[in-house]
Each structure stands twice: as C-alpha cells, then as structure tokens.
C-alpha cells in the first residue's frame, strides 16, 4: 500500500527517496546537493501569538533526548530519577516518564510562550519496547508528530535497522517486507526533519540527510545543526551503514555554522548526539559548581570547548545523563549545554533571548533547567489512544507469559555488574553450551544491549512476578543472533582490558559475564591496569593465555562492537538462535509460579574503588 498523505512536509532529500535504487551508495549519490534545501524555514507549531515587536524576544526551547520508543511509562530503575536536596542528601523520585505525560508537560510549558520550539538530540527510536519495536518504531514517529516535535538530530540508534529504514521513518511508506500494520492505514513518516550533518556518502561526500534546519517566526530565525557521534559506526551493525562515513562533530558543526552565518542566520543551536558524565546522578545537580562546567566530564567537554562561538547552545544526548550547565566556548564565553537523561523522564526548558537588531542570541540571558515528567498530571488523551491502539495490535504476542521472578531484577546504570546482566549471560551460556550449539564455556554480554529491568509488579493483567514476552523484549529488543567463537586466554584478558581502556577509558563498558567466570577490577588504577590479570578465572582455574576457549556472545560483540576490537579476531564462529529467544527459553526453563527465579547475587566481578 502507498503511504497516506503527509501534512506540513517538505520533501526530504534523504537516501531512500529513490526507492528503485538498490544500494545505499547509489541512493546517496543520486541525491541533489545538500546546500539548497537545507535552508527550509520551519513555521513551528504556533504555540500562541506574537505579543509585540520589541527588540528582545524570549524564545523557548524545549528539548529531550534518548526516548528510545518508550511510549508507555518506563518501569523499575528506568522510571526513576534522583533528586538532590538543598542539604546535600538525595531522594528517589519514583514513577516518571511516559509519552502521555510528556505530552501534557510540554503542552503546559508552551502556554504563554508565542515563540516556542521543541527539539531533540537523537535516539528517538531504536532499542525500543515491544509496543513500538514490534512495529519498527512507527508508533514512536506517530507519537513524536503528536508531540509537535520541530526538529531532531539522528543518534546511533536511528541506524539500528540501517539507513534505508531511517529513510522510511522520515519519508513514510509501509515496511518493505511486513507491509502495513493497520488495515487501511499507511505510515506517513515524520512531520519533523531528521538532521545528520556529519553522516555522508563515502564517495560523494554529500550528507545523508539535511544538515541543518531554520526555524522562523515573525522575523525571528534560529538555525539548528544536527550531528550524531563520530563513533556511531563502532556501535551499530556494519551492514546497515555500508557506504556511509561519520565525520568529526566539531568540524561539522563549525562548517555549517559558517554556512548559516552566510545565509544571515546568526542564532544557532547544535543538536548533538554525544554527551557528558556529571559528577552526580541527580537530575538537578549543579554541574557549574565550583566553576563553569567543572562538574561534568566526558566527550562533550572537549567538543563544547571547540565548537565555534557562533553556536549559542548545545542540546546533547547519548550518555542518558541529566545536566544543564555552561561550558566555556573557544572565546571563553559561557555557553549552555544540556541533556534530559533518557526515556522521556525529563525535558529541558531553555530561554534563548533573541536580539532583533543583531539577529543573535544574548548569551548572558540564556537560562536552562531540567523538569521532571511526573505522572501527577492528566495524561494526554491523544497519546493514550495511540498507545492503546498499538497495544491492542501487539497483545497476542506481548501478553504471553514466559517466566516468573521472585523480585525486581535490576539493570542499574551506575553498577559495573548488574543482576540482570548475570541472568542474561547465564541464559546465553546455557543456550550455546551444548556441543551441537557451539560448545560455549562462558558468555559475555555488552551492557548497552540490556535496555530495561525486569519488574516484579505486573504491567497488565498477567499478575505480579510474571514475565511476559513483551517485558522480555523490552529488556533485549535488538534480537541479535548469538554466536560461539574461539578466543585464546590472552584475547579474553585483552577484551576485559578494553572495557576500561582506549575509547572506553572515560566511560567504561563492563561486559556482563556468565557464572563461573570471575575477576577483579581495580578502579583505583588507570586504563588496562584496572584489570587484575592474575584474578581472571573460569570455574576457579586461572585463565591460560595460550589455551583456546569457546565463548558465547552476540553478533554485535563478535563483530568488535563497543570498542572490543580484539573480539573480531575470533575463529570458528557458529551462529545460534537470537539473544531474545535464549533469554525467554531460559526464563521458561528455570522458573514457575511456585518456584520463581531469584535475583542473581551479582558477585562475579570484584570491584576495588
């Protein structure tokens, strides 16, 4: 079926515009030059009326990031925030997020603001719960249209299903193999532009999507430049991004800031899917204490210090952290840098004071704050209806029980070893251990592939402690195929060292390990030295550097994803079932209503701090 007509959409110059072409390279090469159409003016969504033509105009910028298709309120630790009290203590805020409530909060925030823009910094889709992921994230795009999103950058997860599928998200049309999901309805695609200034065709150098977008109302013009992290190719499947290059974030933003400046657009916001790590996990922590940007680390710090002073604000993401602080630009002037955690739990409200005479933002007047998406407001009826509609379609698959748990099995973001990580690694080991399935002796699981906790409280009518297929899918939505490979003991140790060195030194990616595999991580040291080599053991026996071991892992890891380049050196790969199938099979085999699965002890990695 053809897509239904799309409203308020300018034709996007994006690779899949020519559906008859067969390769990404050919599609991108066929596009016209990116410069011409990038200067589209966006009228916005008309939140109010112009109340005057004074010299200074307050423009409201509402922003969020890393939604990951979380339409329903996230559960467990994924639905919590930490609040920092004035006396330095903290408290946990339970029950936050959910697109029904995000919609209400955004709509309330826009009231009284005739100049209001809503923008996002990537990962709106991908790694999504079943109610969105089962339908290739069409429900989330539909919800974002309803939220009146004006513009977003792409993130790495926008490429989870490849560049072609990202094109369909933008341009609409039914899924190429599964068709249309609702009888008599097509998919219209996104009403907002996806920006990817630093994603280019390797041969032509042309951007995959529009590099920038210009929002305009009553002569007030603000340009948005969208980029994803340069390292995207290292953390997504290589197959879907063949022929694409991911460029340097700073160089790209600075390049298009000059383009916008030449077009007379002097007020510029960068939407950047890369982020930082504040010193506190509290959403309201002041990361300008004791000085501008002193309380934040990670990639965003160097990026912000080098992005052109022409850029007035940076909306960031990727790290799933919350911050609203200032980092000095190359000229030494303070510049706001924000991130709204993840899963729709927060939104950021930034006031950009626009000077009509200079056509620029008055930096000293910029103010930003993160706001909790609490559930004590009336849910937006249109979003409730949207969710109910898609849940009804998903119900026959989503509601099937697959196991039982005795209590919450958490996936805490700040823990190196996670109870849920242990459970998943054990499931993968069991699935790949039989001789005819791969003969695995241990399993390794990437922490970023675990997307949500398992909550004991029922999400529907299934009853407390029952794990449904939909809940298991939300935990492992990628449906990666499992592999069993040969690695030497020396390669295994190198893999452990790569968790905390090289690209992972600043933000360690600690692999979750199966039962019987143990070692000590000494975080008082730096780099590869953090792994105590003599402590690495399998079933109590020290790892022999010269011996060959059979190791289970998903295809993302065996392809060297997340900076684990040594894992690409494997031999004798055997491909098994999907990670999700192994997870659900393990839950079914090892639990029942009378004997639910206990919470794993998370005692395999000894951490010295």
- 8 A C-beta contact, residue 434 and residue 383: no
Query: Does 46 score more than 50 pLDDT?
Result: no
Extended beta strands in 29-135, E state: 41-42, 56-64, 81-84, 90-93, 116-120
Length of the chain: 609
What mean pLDDT do residues 529-540 have?
98
Summarised one tens digit per residue, pLDDT across range 181-202 is 999 999 999 999 999 999 999 9
Spatial neighbors of 442 by CB under 8 A, at least 6 apart, are: 429, 513, 514, 516, 517, 538, 549, 551, 552
Percent of the chain past pLDDT 70, that is, above it, reads 91
- 8 A C-beta contact, residue 378 and residue 364: no
Reported confidence tier of residue 525, pLDDT bands at 50, 70, 90: very high
Please give the Cα distance from 64 to 212 (Å, whole number): 18
Summarised one tens digit per residue, pLDDT across range 462-518 is 999 999 999 999 999 998 999 999 999 999 999 999 999 999 998 899 999 999 999
3-state secondary structure of 290: coil
- Share the mean pLDDT of the chain: 91
- 8 A C-beta contact, residue 144 and residue 382: no
Give the CA distances from residue 429 to residues 265, 432, 442, 589, in Å, rounded to whole numbers and listed in that order: 56, 5, 6, 14
How remote is the C-alpha of 214 from its chain's centroid?
A: 25
pLDDT of residue 28: 37
- 8 A C-beta contact, residue 337 and residue 360: no
Percent of the chain past pLDDT 90, that is, above it, reads 87
Please give the Cα distance from 407 to 405 (Å, whole number): 6
Please give the Cα distance from 138 to 180 (Å, whole number): 10
- Ramachandran region, residue 438 (left: φ > 0; alpha: ψ -120 to 50; beta: rest): left
Reported confidence tier of residue 42, pLDDT bands at 50, 70, 90: very low
pLDDT of residue 551: 98
Query: Does 13 score more than 60 pLDDT?
Result: no
Reported confidence tier of residue 294, pLDDT bands at 50, 70, 90: very high
Q: Which of 58-72, 228-242, 268-282, 567-581 has the lowest mean pLDDT?
A: 228-242
pLDDT of residue 54: 86
User: How far from each other are the two terminal CA atoms of the chain, in whole angstroms?
Assistant: 58
pLDDT of residue 50: 40
Summarised one tens digit per residue, pLDDT across range 340-378 is 999 999 999 999 999 999 999 999 888 999 999 999 999
Reported confidence tier of residue 31, pLDDT bands at 50, 70, 90: very low
How would DSSP label each residue in 362-404? -GGG-EEEEEE-BSSSPPPHHHHHHHHHHHHHHHHHHT-EEEE
Asked, as a colleague might, if the bond just before 290 is cis with ω within 30 of 0, I would say: yes
Pair of tokens at residue 527: 């780099």
The neighbouring-strand residues paired with 590 are none
Q: pTM for this structure?
A: 0.88
Reported confidence tier of residue 35, pLDDT bands at 50, 70, 90: very low
195 against 34, higher pLDDT: 195
Please give the Cα distance from 42 to 98 (Å, whole number): 27
Pair of tokens at residue 383: 């979003």
pLDDT of residue 39: 47
Reported confidence tier of residue 550, pLDDT bands at 50, 70, 90: very high
Pair of tokens at residue 577: 């079932």
Give the CA distances from residue 360 to residues 216, 268, 313, in Å, rounded to whole numbers and listed in that order: 13, 8, 12
Summarised one tens digit per residue, pLDDT across range 100-109 is 999 999 999 9
pLDDT of residue 397: 95
How remote is the C-alpha of 351 from its chain's centroid?
A: 25
How would DSSP label each residue in 471-533? HHHHHSTT-PEEEEEEEEHHHHHHHHHHTSSGGGSSS--PPEE-TTEEEEEETTS-GGGGEEE
pLDDT of residue 30: 33
Reported confidence tier of residue 568, pLDDT bands at 50, 70, 90: very high
Reported confidence tier of residue 91, pLDDT bands at 50, 70, 90: very high
Give the CA distances from residue 8 to residues 156, 248, 515, in Å, rounded to whole numbers and listed in that order: 27, 32, 54
pLDDT of residue 40: 40
Give the strand order in the sheet containing 548-554: 512-513, 442-445, 548-554, 481-488, 571-578
Measured torsion, CA atoms of residues 18, 22, 24, 25, in degrees rounded to the nearest 10: -100
pLDDT of residue 239: 85
Please give the Cα distance from 227 to 275 (Å, whole number): 12
Spatial neighbors of 205 by CB under 8 A, at least 6 apart, are: none
Please give the Cα distance from 471 to 454 (Å, whole number): 7
How remote is the C-alpha of 197 from its chain's centroid?
A: 18
Please give the Cα distance from 34 to 40 (Å, whole number): 11
Please give the Cα distance from 12 to 24 (Å, whole number): 16
Please give the Cα distance from 96 to 94 (Å, whole number): 6
559 against 26, higher pLDDT: 559
Extended beta strands in 184-335, E state: 194-195, 199-201, 212-217, 220-228, 244-246, 268-273, 277-278, 296-297, 311-316, 322-326
Instruction: Print burial letters for 401-439: b (CB count within 10 Å at least 16), e (below 16).
Output: ebbbbeebbbbbeebbbbbbbbbbbbbbbbbbbeeebbe
Q: Which of 18-22, 139-143, 505-509 has the lowest mean pLDDT?
A: 18-22
pLDDT of residue 53: 66
pLDDT of residue 427: 98
Give the CA distances from residue 225 to residues 259, 313, 468, 551, in Å, rounded to whole numbers and listed in that order: 10, 11, 41, 43
How would DSSP label each residue in 128-161? --HHHHTTTTHHHHHHHHHTT--EEE--GGGGTT
């Amino acid at each position: 079926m053809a897509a239904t007509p799309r409203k308020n959409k300018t034709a996007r110059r994006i690779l899949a515009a020519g559906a008859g072409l067969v390769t990404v390279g050919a599609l991108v090469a066929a596009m016209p030059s990116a410069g011409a159409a990038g200067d589209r003016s966006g009228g916005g969504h008309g939140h109010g009326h112009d109340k005057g033509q004074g010299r200074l105009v307050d423009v409201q910028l509402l922003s969020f990031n890393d939604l990951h298709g979380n339409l329903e309120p996230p559960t467990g630790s994924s639905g919590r925030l930490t609040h920092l009290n004035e006396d330095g203590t903290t408290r946990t805020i339970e029950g936050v997020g959910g697109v029904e409530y995000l919609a209400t909060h955004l709509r309330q925030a826009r009231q009284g603001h005739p100049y209001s823009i809503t923008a996002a910094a990537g990962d709106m889709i991908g790694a999504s719960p079943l109610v969105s992921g089962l339908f290739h994230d069409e429900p989330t795009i539909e919800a974002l249209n309803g939220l009146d999103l004006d513009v977003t950058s792409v993130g790495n997860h926008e490429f989870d299903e490849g560049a072609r599928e990202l094109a369909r998200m933008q341009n609409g049309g039914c899924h190429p193999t599964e068709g249309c999901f609702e009888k008599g309805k097509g998919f219209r695609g996104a009403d907002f532009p996806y920006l990817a200034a630093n994603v280019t065709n390797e041969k032509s150098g042309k951007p995959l999507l529009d590099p920038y977008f210009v929002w305009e109302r009553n002569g007030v013009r603000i340009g948005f430049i969208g980029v994803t992290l340069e390292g995207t190719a290292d953390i997504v499947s290589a197959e879907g991004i063949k022929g694409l290059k991911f460029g340097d974030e700073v160089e790209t933003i600075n390049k298009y800031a000059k383009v916008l400046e030449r077009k007379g657009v002097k007020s510029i916001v960068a939407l950047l899917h890369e982020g930082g790590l504040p010193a506190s996990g509290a959403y309201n922590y002041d990361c300008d204490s004791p000085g501008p940007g002193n309380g934040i680390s990670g990639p965003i710090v160097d990026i912000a210090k080098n992005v052109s002073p022409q850029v007035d604000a940076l909306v960031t993401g990727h790290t799933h952290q919350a911050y609203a602080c200032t980092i000095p630009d190359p000229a030494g002037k303070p510049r706001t840098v924000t991130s709204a955690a993840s899963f729709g739990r927060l939104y950021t409200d930034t006031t950009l004071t626009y000077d009509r005479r200079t056509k620029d933002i008055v930096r000293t007047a910029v103010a930003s704050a993160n706001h909790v998406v609490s559930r004590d407001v009336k849910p937006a009826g249109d979003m409730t209806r949207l969710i109910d509609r898609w849940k009804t379609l998903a119900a026959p698959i989503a509601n099937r029980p697959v196991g039982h748990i005795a209590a919450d099995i958490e996936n805490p973001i700040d823990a190196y070893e996670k109870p849920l990580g242990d459970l998943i690694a054990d499931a993968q080991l069991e699935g790949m251990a039989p001789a005819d399935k791969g003969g695995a002796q241990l399993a390794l699981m990437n922490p970023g592939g675990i997307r949500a906790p398992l909550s004991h409280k029922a999400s529907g009518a299934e009853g407390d402690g029952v794990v449904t297929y939909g809940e298991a899918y939300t935990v492992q939505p990628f449906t990666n195929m499992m592999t069993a490979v040969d690695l030497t003991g020396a390669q295994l140790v190198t893999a452990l060292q790569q968790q905390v060195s090289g690209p992972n030194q600043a933000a360690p990616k600690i692999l979750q390990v199966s039962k019987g595999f143990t070692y000590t991580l000494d975080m008082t040291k730096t780099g590869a030295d953090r792994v105590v080599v003599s402590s690495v053991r399998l079933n109590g026996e020290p790892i022999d550097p010269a011996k060959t071991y059979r190791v289970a892992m998903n295809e993302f890891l065996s392809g060297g994803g997340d900076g684990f380049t040594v894992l690409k050196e494997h031999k004798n790969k055997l491909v098994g079932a999907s990670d999700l199938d192994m997870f659900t099979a393990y839950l079914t085999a090892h639990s029942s209503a009378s004997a639910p699965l206990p919470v794993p002890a998370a005692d395999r990695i000894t951490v010295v701090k």
